[in-house]
Amino acid sequence: MNLKSYFTEHRSEHLKQLQEFLSIPSISALSEHKTDIQKAAEWLADQLKSFGMKRVELLPTKGNPVVYGEWLHAPGKPTVLIYGHYDVQPVDPLHLWDSPPFEPAIRDEKIYARGATDDKGQVFMHLKSAEAFMKSEGKLPVNIKFCLEGEEEVGSPNLDEFVEQHKELLAADMLVISDTTMLGKGKPAICYGLRGLCGLQINLKGPKGDLHSGLYGGAVQNPIHALAELLASMHDDSGKVTVDGFYDQVVPLSIEEREAFTALGQTDKDLQKELGVPALFGEQGYTALERSWARPTLEVNGIWGGFQGEGTKTIIPSEAHAKITCRLVPDQDPEQILDLIEKHVHNHLPAGVTAEVIRFDKGKPFVTPFDDEAIQAAARAYEQAYGVAPAFTRMGGSIPIVETFGRLLELPVVMMGFGLPEENFHAPNEHFHLENFDTGLLTISYFLQEIEKLGEKK
Amino acid sequence: MNLKSYFTEHRSEHLKQLQEFLSIPSISALSEHKTDIQKAAEWLADQLKSFGMKRVELLPTKGNPVVYGEWLHAPGKPTVLIYGHYDVQPVDPLHLWDSPPFEPAIRDEKIYARGATDDKGQVFMHLKSAEAFMKSEGKLPVNIKFCLEGEEEVGSPNLDEFVEQHKELLAADMLVISDTTMLGKGKPAICYGLRGLCGLQINLKGPKGDLHSGLYGGAVQNPIHALAELLASMHDDSGKVTVDGFYDQVVPLSIEEREAFTALGQTDKDLQKELGVPALFGEQGYTALERSWARPTLEVNGIWGGFQGEGTKTIIPSEAHAKITCRLVPDQDPEQILDLIEKHVHNHLPAGVTAEVIRFDKGKPFVTPFDDEAIQAAARAYEQAYGVAPAFTRMGGSIPIVETFGRLLELPVVMMGFGLPEENFHAPNEHFHLENFDTGLLTISYFLQEIEKLGEKK
């Protein structure tokens, strides 16, 4: 079959389906979207069934279901496990979106919607590639299993257990994930390393109720002051994390790796311009790329306490709160890092308040050797579709499940991402460039053909 | 007339009227309550007219109207100007109220509602005292002018100009305000000093939009980190303000004043228990009472930035915000303090963000000699009603207009407050003890009779 003409012919039909998928507000962080999560999972299952995937089901977890489907009729050929997620990030602040996040709009050959690039758009491409083979040739070039989860954006709290319990069902020769980004327009990349993640919330409590700041100001600790002091104690002036022991397990960047990063030609100046900041900022002695790919971070993702309305309210609030997540690199351990931070909170707690720490979100960092034959097959597929060899990169983001899959199923992980860094992942006006939708469909299809050539591995 | 039996006879009628007044949600900080502000002002005007006050009108300002009414038919007698405010604080967090803030409820001889003690309840008492004289005797013992404003809780932004423009209309021999507290149950107090107030909002801006904390974490400054560092730089470990020059104009507490404070018998231990904090906190070398009555403060009243919802959202937010108010003591100047803080913000601004400072709320601190004959007349009225002599106190709160009235109209200010410190001013479950409603009505009435005895002053 001619894949190029197939995808050209079906383009408008595919985009219509993608818009339908993106219009389901499957936000996993907000419980009021529980039925939307279910709807998105069922939408995927219907799609998988429609082009002949077998054993399609919503497999329950303690949280949102995993959508599973398989086609195992390519004897002697490798089995490819495809992972993706159908849940999306919250959409606030809503007023910064140019079009509603769940009314997908195509402008300038980009599709705008929450989940367009992270990760519904990319999941959809794997479906359409498999469908292309099934509809044209009645079969797939390799064996395929889909494992699509609905809790990635809240840290995949139930997937470890799910994979552990379904080791046989999920057994495969390699895992493919499209949830990372390219280096830039026309610059494909295969990601061989991801940062890990751990998160916590700090709740500080002072007086039993909000107090009049005139009557009591000066007499008691203000929980916001205490929180500011506590958070400020977690970084030095250059942004280096000052939590005791935080960097102890970090594997230093090798000279070779730093040279390879530099060779990618991404300058700090370009990044500063892209992000619209007065200056880049972070740990001294590293480029911004090194800091975001291969150094750990501790970020306060949210803070709140007291009065946020119009005008003033002269109170000392009873409580103040912060949400923190850390990005981790090999060989940091999420549990151990949470222990260190919790210890820091208690050791640096200002007088006059009490602290509660709630833990969530854990994923280990992950690095895979990029001379693996599955990764090299992906590289050939990219070259065929894009006309250039892909770069081998690491990424600052976390897909906690990557490390779990790699460890529990003992298989190489191929991260083929088609997003662009400027596509507003997790932010207002998230979008996906249709040129990478088109070329990505080809890349994924060529990849399956390249894997077919490898023959049976197990 | 027998004032005691008059107020006993009319008690249930008075409480019904007070409940009606308190049920109007006249929140000045929130623009959606503009019509409620108007409604509260009209309610007061109708009341004043109903018992024979003359020239009753809503006098316009650039903001909310001032309710004015006068009765000047006591030739040869002093003129008392009564100031109060009919606006109230916002009510969030709403879920902490045991009964709805604008459905006044009487439980255990206390009336619960926003404004019950600050300041609608106390304003209402002055109306009912004047009404008692008018209804029983057809005249007042002295000349009275009411000046009731609707913007006290947002810092009285238009009252300076109003007083300046209405100097003749407001001319009087003394100003009476009931917006302060007693020392405790059965312990009346006349307040002779108030702290001043100034406020500002700090807006920090980093990247042009929220960023994915995985992709960019480590490369750029996080505005929440910058805000925490900036706010932490404003106090030392003991809570002393570290803004350069902040204390330069502060008049030190005299030994006599400190001894008088100590003699009031209020201990730090009692206060700690009352507020439910693990420990009191603040500037070393001062008692909590000294810190809250006679030392300046810088309090962050609210902070917000990034994600505040359920679960996690792994972003670096684009913005972070804080609202600050300072309580000032003689001879600090609000404008000068705002200059110092703004300078501090710019001098201590962490790299990688830009700062915007918005100023609001200004009121000068105020202290008046307590041997003034009007204050001494008030002391006699208290003794008659409560059976004990009142304490002379200072207060941590700010009534910016006190200083303005004192300065522009050149008159002594008598602060007769009937609230109790534990009545949740500005907090959920604000309430007012009816025993002080009853005894306060008598005190105010005896006070007018005491003033009558002073004869004409001007």
Length of chain A: 458
CATH of A198-264+283-363 given 1.10.630.10, 3.20.20.70, 3.30.70.360, 2.60.40.1180:
3.30.70.360
- Cα angle at B28 between B22 and B34, to 5 degrees? 90
Please tell me the distance in Å from A99's CA to the nearest CA on chain B: 16
How far apart CA B81 and CA B87 sit, in angstroms, is 19
Where residue A265 falls among pLDDT bands split at 50, 70, 90?
Answer: confident
Judged against a pLDDT cut of 70, whether residue A149 lies above it is answered with: yes
The terminus-to-terminus CA distance of chain A in angstroms comes to: 28
**pLDDT tens-place string over residues A32-86:** 999 999 999 999 999 999 999 999 999 999 999 999 999 999 999 999 999 999 9
**Of the candidates B279, B302, B327, which has its C-beta nearest A308's C-beta?**
B302
Residues of A in contact with B310 (CB under 8 A): 29-31
Q: How far is CA A412 from the centre of its chain?
A: 19
Bridge partners (DSSP) of residue A241 are A235
Mean pLDDT of A378-391: 95
H-type alpha helices, B10-119: 11-22, 34-50
> What is the pLDDT at residue A369?
72
How far apart CA B402 and CA B384 sit, in angstroms, is 26
Bridge partners (DSSP) of residue A88 are A27
Q: Tell me if A390 sits within 8 A of A190, measured CB to CB.
A: yes
The angle, 0 to 180 degrees and rounded to 10, between the axes of the packed helices B11-22 and B120-137 is 140
How far apart CA B115 and CA B141 sit, in angstroms, is 29
| Higher local confidence (pLDDT), B231 or A271 | B231
Amino acid (one-letter) located at B177: I
**How far is CA A45 from each of CA A31, A52, A56, rounded to the nearest angstrom?**
22, 11, 6
CA atoms within 13 A on the CB side of A26: 29
**pLDDT tens-place string over residues A13-23:** 999 999 999 99
Domains A3-194+365-454 and A198-264+283-363 equal at CATH topology level: no
The residues spanned by each domain of chain A are 3-194+365-454, 198-264+283-363
| Cβ contact, residue pair A219, B289, below 8 Å | yes
In this structure, what token pair is assigned to residue A224?
A: 């916001």
Amino acid (one-letter) located at A433: H
Bridge partners (DSSP) of residue A60 are none
> What is the pLDDT at residue A399?
77
| Cβ contact, residue pair B195, A212, below 8 Å | no
Q: Tell me if B104 sits within 8 A of B112, measured CB to CB.
A: yes
Class of domain B197-260+287-362: alpha beta
H-type alpha helices, B117-178: 120-137, 159-165, 167-170
**pLDDT tens-place string over residues A320-375:** 999 999 999 989 999 999 999 999 999 999 999 999 999 986 788 888 776 789 99
Q: Which of B198, B224, B420 lies closest to B308, judged by CA? A: B224
How far apart CA A121 and CA A124 sit, in angstroms, is 5
DSSP string, B315-359: EE-SEEEEEEEEEE-TT--HHHHHHHHHHHHHHTPPTT-EEEEEE
Could you list the beta-strand ranges (E) of B169-265. Answer: 174-177, 189-194, 196-205, 211-212
Bridge partners (DSSP) of residue A358 are A201
- Indicate if A236 belongs to the active site: no
| Higher local confidence (pLDDT), B183 or A172 | A172
CA atoms within 13 A on the CB side of A50: 11
The residue to which tokens 């496990």 are assigned: A81
| Cβ contact, residue pair A229, B232, below 8 Å | yes
A3-194+365-454: which CATH architecture? 3-Layer(aba) Sandwich (3.40)
Q: Which of A310, A308, A307, A288 lies closest to A297, judged by CA? A: A288
Lowest mean pLDDT among A105-114, A222-231, B248-257, B448-457: B448-457
Substitution target from B268, B303, B402 for chain A, most A beta carbons within 10 A: B303
How far apart CA A388 and CA A439 sit, in angstroms, is 12
| Phi, psi (deg, nearest 5) at residue A7 | -70, -35
User: Considering A36, A70, A151, A152, which one is annotated as catalytic?
Assistant: A152
Where residue A456 falls among pLDDT bands split at 50, 70, 90?
Answer: low
How far apart CA A171 and CA A458 sit, in angstroms, is 10
| Cβ contact, residue pair B231, A211, below 8 Å | no
Q: Tell me if B414 sits within 8 A of B374, measured CB to CB.
A: yes
Mean pLDDT of A302-324: 94
* Residues 42-101 in B contacting A (C-alpha not used; CB under 8 Å): 89-90, 92-93, 96
* Residues 253-312 in B contacting A (C-alpha not used; CB under 8 Å): 271, 275-283, 288-289, 291-292, 295-297, 299-312
Lowest mean pLDDT among A108-112, A396-400, B59-63, B443-447: A396-400
**Of the candidates A28, A282, A304, which has its C-beta nearest B219's C-beta?**
A282
> What is the pLDDT at residue A266?
82
CB atoms within 10 A of CB A407: 13
Q: Tell me if A402 sits within 8 A of A81, measured CB to CB.
A: no
Q: Tell me if B57 sits within 8 A of B46, measured CB to CB.
A: no
> What is the pLDDT at residue A220?
95
The angle, 0 to 180 degrees and rounded to 10, between the axes of the packed helices B11-22 and B34-50 is 160
Q: Tell me if B151 sits within 8 A of A311, measured CB to CB.
A: no
How far apart CA B451 and CA B456 sit, in angstroms, is 9
Q: Tell me if A147 sits within 8 A of A59, measured CB to CB.
A: no
Cis amide bond preceding A400, omega within 30: no
How far apart CA B231 and CA B238 sit, in angstroms, is 14
Mean pLDDT of A249-263: 88
Residues of B in contact with A236 (CB under 8 A): none
The terminus-to-terminus CA distance of chain B in angstroms comes to: 28
Per-residue pLDDT 10s for chain B (458 aa) are: 799 999 999 999 999 999 999 999 999 999 999 999 999 999 999 999 999 999 999 999 999 999 999 999 999 999 999 999 999 999 998 999 999 999 999 999 999 999 999 999 999 999 999 999 999 999 999 999 999 999 999 988 899 999 999 999 999 999 999 998 898 899 999 988 889 999 999 999 999 999 988 889 899 999 999 999 999 999 999 999 999 999 999 999 888 889 888 888 888 998 999 888 989 999 999 999 999 989 999 999 999 999 998 888 889 999 999 999 999 998 999 999 999 999 999 999 999 999 999 998 678 888 877 678 999 999 999 999 999 989 888 888 777 778 888 888 989 899 999 999 899 989 999 999 999 999 999 999 999 999 999 975 54
- Indicate if A152 belongs to the active site: yes
Residues of A in contact with B325 (CB under 8 A): 213, 312, 314
Torsion of CA B453, B132, B384, B174, to 10 degrees: -50
